[in-house]
């Protein structure tokens, strides 16, 4: 005689611990693949709330399994003939028969997950493990005074009266009065209970001082004709990362974008990330523009200035000397000057980079080379290392 047992209706979540650990491992795997993800064109210049899909390699459980040449057996409809092609090797069918739980599908276990760019950047920069003192270097001066409500008090001035809370107090008192009456078994219809002074509640107001970081990041990009699609894309990826970083780390940082060919102009974020141009190259024009902007808006005595420049280094020869001079000038007023050279063809630096190397020996000047998208992340890290190493 069989025994029937009605199992618990309220289930215990026994797999919770293992699921949590699995998610942790998936998260770690996302972080490991970040280098690939950040260089995806589709995410450049997107707003921070936009959701993007990124492929995640599933956490594999490796075992010894047979490879492709193992073949298999299947059941069909009787129409199959020798030599007939019945599918693609990477699709269906092809599962080994009778595997049960024995083997895993050798197929790439990739699934997609959706995350916002903001989540992505926080993964990215968590990974950097920057020390907190970073923040201090962006000294804070300008403060903003704001008044914020916080909790309640019995005394106050009429404009701070909190009506909702006051009403709640009155209802409480009303209910208490009713209960007292019930106890004394008097069953009168509830009389109207007016507000009492003790019901009144006022908002407590706190002064909230918020400090602004007074830092500005100036992004200069070479948009000349020699900067082909790939190069521009690399430069943009780099700036995108930088820009995301700055926005993530510092709440109030100003960013100025400069695009230059032989002349330079200040552009907005949208244009900076999406516009293409052609023309020759005077690197100095970009630097001049930067100096101009600094002079007009960001007094170096008050502002921390971070200047970055990306170019393929294909500068017109006669401009080199001027460029070097301006870099020196920018270095003296900037906290950091970063020069990123995009070298798609070879890893040999350009003429201008050699000039920089020879003539600029300031601690806050840093030069990085980027050949393809895998170099972006290391380059970015190198710049940040200088940032935290140089001054601390």
Partner 1 sequence: MAAYSLDELEYWNDKIEKLVWDAGLDCYEQHFEICSYEDMLCYESYVGMPSHYPHWSFGKAYERQKTFYKYNLVGLPYEMVINSDPCIAYLMRDNTLLIHILTMAHVYGHNDFFKNNRLFKRDTRANLEMEMFKAHANRVREYIQDPSIGPDKVERILDAAHGLKFQTCRHGERKKISEEEEGTVPERLKEDLLAFLAEKGKLAEWERDLIHIVREETMYFIPQLETKIMNEGWASYWHYQILNQLELPQGLHLEFLQRHHLVIRPHQGQINPYFLGFKMFEYLDQQPGGREKIMAIRSEDRDQSFIRRYLNQELCEKLHLFSYGIQGDDIVVTEVSNEEGWKTVRDNLANAVGLGSIPIIRPVGVENGTLLLEHVCDQRELELNYAQETVKYVVDLWGGKVDLRVKIDNNPKIISCSEGKIVNIHD
> x/- binding map, residues 24-53, to partner 1, per CB under 8 A?
xx----------------------------
Q: Which residues contact 242 (CB under 8 A, 6 or more apart)?
A: 217, 219, 308, 380, 383
The C-alpha atoms of residue 242 and residue 128 are separated, in whole angstroms, by 13
The C-alpha atoms of residue 70 and residue 90 are separated, in whole angstroms, by 14
| Closest among 244, 241, 227 to 342, alpha carbons compared | 227
**How many Cβ atoms from other residues are within 10 Å of residue 211's Cβ?**
13
Tell which one of 47, 49, 77, 112 touches partner 1 (CB under 8 A): 77
Tell which one of 55, 93, 131, 276 touches partner 1 (CB under 8 A): 93
**Residue with the two structure tokens 């129409």:** 79
C-alpha torsion sign, points 382, 383, 386, 389: negative
Tell which one of 76, 158, 190, 389 touches partner 1 (CB under 8 A): 76
Mark the segment that binds partner 1 (CB under 8 A) among 80-88, 128-136, 247-255, 265-273. 80-88
Looking at the Cβ atoms of 86 and 176, the one nearer to partner 1 is 86
DSSP string, 289-304: HHHHHHHHH--TTT-E
Dihedral angle computed from the Cα positions of residues 120, 340, 130 and 306, in that order, rounded to the nearest 10 degrees: -110
Mark the segment that binds partner 1 (CB under 8 A) among 33-41, 72-80, 162-170, 246-254. 72-80
Looking at the Cβ atoms of 93 and 390, the one nearer to partner 1 is 93
**Residue with the two structure tokens 């908002």:** 203
Q: Shortest distance, CB of residue 311 to partner 1, whole angstroms?
A: 39
Looking at the Cβ atoms of 87 and 390, the one nearer to partner 1 is 87
103 interacts with partner 1 by CB under 8 A: yes
Q: Shortest distance, CB of residue 5 to partner 1, whole angstroms?
A: 5
55 interacts with partner 1 by CB under 8 A: no
63 interacts with partner 1 by CB under 8 A: yes
Looking at the Cβ atoms of 78 and 317, the one nearer to partner 1 is 78
Q: Which residues contact 351 (CB under 8 A, 6 or more apart)?
A: 313, 315, 317, 320
Dihedral angle computed from the Cα positions of residues 75, 81, 82 and 86, in that order, rounded to the nearest 10 degrees: -60
Please, how many CA atoms are within 13 Å of residue 73, restricted to the half-sphere of its CB?
Answer: 3
Site size with partner 1, rule: CB under 8 A? 67
346 interacts with partner 1 by CB under 8 A: no
DSSP string, 309-369: EEE-----GGGHHHHHHHHHHHHHH-SEEEEEEE-SS-SS--HHHHHHHHH---TTEEEEE
87 interacts with partner 1 by CB under 8 A: yes
Q: Shortest distance, CB of residue 126 to partner 1, whole angstroms?
A: 20
Looking at the Cβ atoms of 73 and 346, the one nearer to partner 1 is 73
Mark the segment that binds partner 1 (CB under 8 A) among 14-22, 38-46, 237-245, 277-285. 14-22
* Token pair listed for 130: 């920057």
Tell which one of 40, 53, 59, 278 touches partner 1 (CB under 8 A): 59
**How many Cβ atoms from other residues are within 10 Å of residue 338's Cβ?**
25
* Token pair listed for 82: 């020798």
Tell which one of 27, 42, 55, 72 touches partner 1 (CB under 8 A): 72
The C-alpha atoms of residue 29 and residue 309 are separated, in whole angstroms, by 32
The C-alpha atoms of residue 332 and residue 300 are separated, in whole angstroms, by 10
Looking at the Cβ atoms of 84 and 296, the one nearer to partner 1 is 84
Mark the segment that binds partner 1 (CB under 8 A) among 71-79, 156-164, 243-251, 314-322. 71-79
Looking at the Cβ atoms of 77 and 318, the one nearer to partner 1 is 77
Looking at the Cβ atoms of 12 and 189, the one nearer to partner 1 is 12
Looking at the Cβ atoms of 89 and 157, the one nearer to partner 1 is 89
Mark the segment that binds partner 1 (CB under 8 A) among 9-17, 152-160, 243-251, 301-309. 9-17
Residues contributing to the site for partner 1 (CB under 8 A): 1-9, 11, 13-15, 17-25, 58-78, 80-90, 92-103, 106
């Amino acid at each position: 005689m069989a025994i029937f047992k009605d199992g618990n209706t309220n289930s215990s979540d026994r797999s919770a611990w293992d699921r949590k650990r699995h998610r942790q491992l998936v998260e770690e795997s996302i972080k490991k693949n970040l280098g690939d993800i950040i260089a995806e064109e589709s995410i450049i210049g997107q707003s921070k709330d936009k959701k993007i899909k990124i492929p995640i390699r599933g956490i594999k459980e490796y075992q010894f399994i047979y490879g492709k040449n193992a073949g298999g057996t299947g059941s069909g409809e009787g129409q199959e003939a020798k030599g007939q092609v019945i599918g693609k090797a990477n699709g269906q069918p092809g599962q080994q028969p009778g595997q049960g739980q024995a083997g895993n599908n050798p197929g790439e276990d990739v699934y997609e997950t959706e995350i916002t760019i903001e989540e992505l950047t926080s993964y990215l920069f968590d990974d950097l493990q920057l020390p907190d003192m970073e923040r201090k270097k962006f000294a804070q001066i300008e403060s903003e005074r704001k008044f914020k409500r916080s909790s309640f008090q019995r005394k106050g001035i009429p404009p701070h009266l909190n009506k909702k809370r006051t009403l709640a107090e009155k209802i409480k008192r009303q209910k208490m009065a009713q209960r007292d009456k019930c106890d004394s078994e008097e069953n009168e219809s509830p009389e109207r209970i007016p507000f009492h002074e003790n019901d009144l509640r006022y908002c407590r107001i706190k002064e909230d001082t918020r400090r602004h970081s007074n830092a500005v990041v100036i992004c200069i990009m070479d948009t000349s004709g020699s900067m082909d699609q790939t190069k521009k894309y690399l430069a943009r990826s780099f700036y995108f990362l930088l820009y995301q970083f700055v926005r993530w780390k510092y709440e109030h940082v100003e960013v100025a974008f400069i695009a230059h060919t032989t002349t330079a102009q200040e552009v907005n974020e949208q244009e900076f990330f999406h516009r293409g141009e052609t023309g020759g190259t005077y690197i100095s024009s970009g630097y001049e523009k930067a100096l101009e902007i600094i002079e007009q808006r960001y007094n170096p005595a008050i502002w921390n200035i971070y200047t970055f420049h990306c170019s393929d280094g294909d500068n017109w020869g006669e401009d080199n000397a001027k460029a070097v001079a301006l870099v020196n000038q920018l270095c003296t007023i900037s906290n950091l000057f970063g020069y990123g050279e995009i070298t798609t063809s070879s890893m040999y630096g350009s003429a201008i980079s050699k000039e920089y190397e020879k003539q600029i020996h300031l601690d806050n000047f840093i030069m990085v080379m980027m050949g393809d998208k895998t170099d972006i992340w290391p380059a970015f890290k190198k710049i940040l290392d200088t940032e935290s190493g140089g001054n601390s």
